[in-house]
């Protein structure tokens, strides 16, 4: 399995949260982290968490 780290910039925190949730929901990302304050989105036991 290959692991990739992709860094993106967004114009707002709201937009970053929206895109990160969608990426995880569509299984295009296993998890996402929004920094410098860490906001993580991931699936655990078939439930999405933020």
- In this prediction, residue 14 carries a pLDDT of 94
- In this prediction, residue 30 carries a pLDDT of 87
Digit-by-digit pLDDT tens for the chain (50 residues) are 888 888 899 999 999 999 999 999 999 998 898 887 888 878 888 777 77
Q: How many CA atoms lie within 13 A of 30 on its CB side?
A: 5
Q: For residue 19, give its domain range.
A: 13-49
Residue 4 lies in a domain: no
- In this prediction, residue 45 carries a pLDDT of 82
- In this prediction, residue 28 carries a pLDDT of 92
**Domains of the chain: total:** 1
Strands of the sheet containing 31-34, edge to edge, are 31-34, 39-44, 47-49
Residue 24 lies in a domain: yes
Residue 19 lies in a domain: yes
Residue 39 lies in a domain: yes
């Amino acid at each position: 399995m290959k692991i990739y780290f992709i860094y993106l910039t967004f114009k707002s925190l709201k937009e970053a949260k929206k895109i990160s949730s969608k990426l995880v929901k569509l299984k295009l990302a296993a998890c996402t982290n929004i920094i410098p304050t860490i906001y993580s989105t991931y699936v655990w036991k078939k439930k999405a968490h933020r």
